Amino acid sequence: MIFKDLCSLSVLLVACILFFEGCAPKKDPIPMAKEGIDTPVQQFNDASMYFYNMQKIQWKLDAEMMRKPLNDTGSILVVPVRLVLFDSIGAVRTRVMADSGLVANDMESYLVWGDVLIRTRDSMVVRTQKLRWLKKTRKVESDTYVQIETKKGDVLRGKGLDATEDFSRFSFKEDVTGAFPDFKRRMENKEESMF
């Protein structure tokens, strides 16, 4: 009888220990984000975004990460930027690569920054640290140093830029320099015109 009572008491004691162990606070830490987030966000990894005007594709944006704060009406942070712009018949017009970018909520402007590299259809290469594209005026602008290399190898540099979106026309605001390889030969062979 005493043995039976001791067994019952032992079972009761083990049950109590297990019960209180299960109710004890967890020793594992609560998961925390690596970065502080003030508001909820939508985040897409390895994502693509397409923009169409009627049925014609205007641009395609690929990124490793796109993030949009939910309290914002639509601006999207993109890291890194791999943007392809198309012309009216759907052919690739321009490629843009940058470390980071921001698409405005109304899709009317884009800002790219970091190491910005642009290649146009006619083999022009544009390098800068920050560039803004304005859809309404179809203009590109920058307030940083910009370098433009033409198909012929001419290298133009300056601080601040105003350009058409296809870079067929552009002007620098200040500190303009340039290098024109084989300029004399090109002038003698009438490959260049002064007007």
Supply the mean pLDDT for the chain.
82
First to last CA, the chain: 117
Under DSSP, the state recorded for 184 is H
Residue 31, pLDDT above cutoff 70 = no
Residue 25: the pLDDT is 59
**What is the rounded CA–CA span in Å between residue 109 and residue 51?**
13
Residue 1, pLDDT above cutoff 60 = no
168-182: pLDDT as tens digits: 899 999 999 998 887
Q: How confident is the model at residue 183 (pLDDT cuts 50, 70, 90)?
A: confident
As a whole number, mean pLDDT of residues 132-146 equals 91
Residue 194: the pLDDT is 42
Residue 6, pLDDT above cutoff 50 = yes
Entry pTM: 0.71
As a whole number, mean pLDDT of residues 179-194 equals 72
- Show contacts of 41-45: CB within 8 Å, 24+ apart: 41/67, 41/68, 41/69, 41/70, 42/67, 42/68, 42/70, 43/67, 43/68
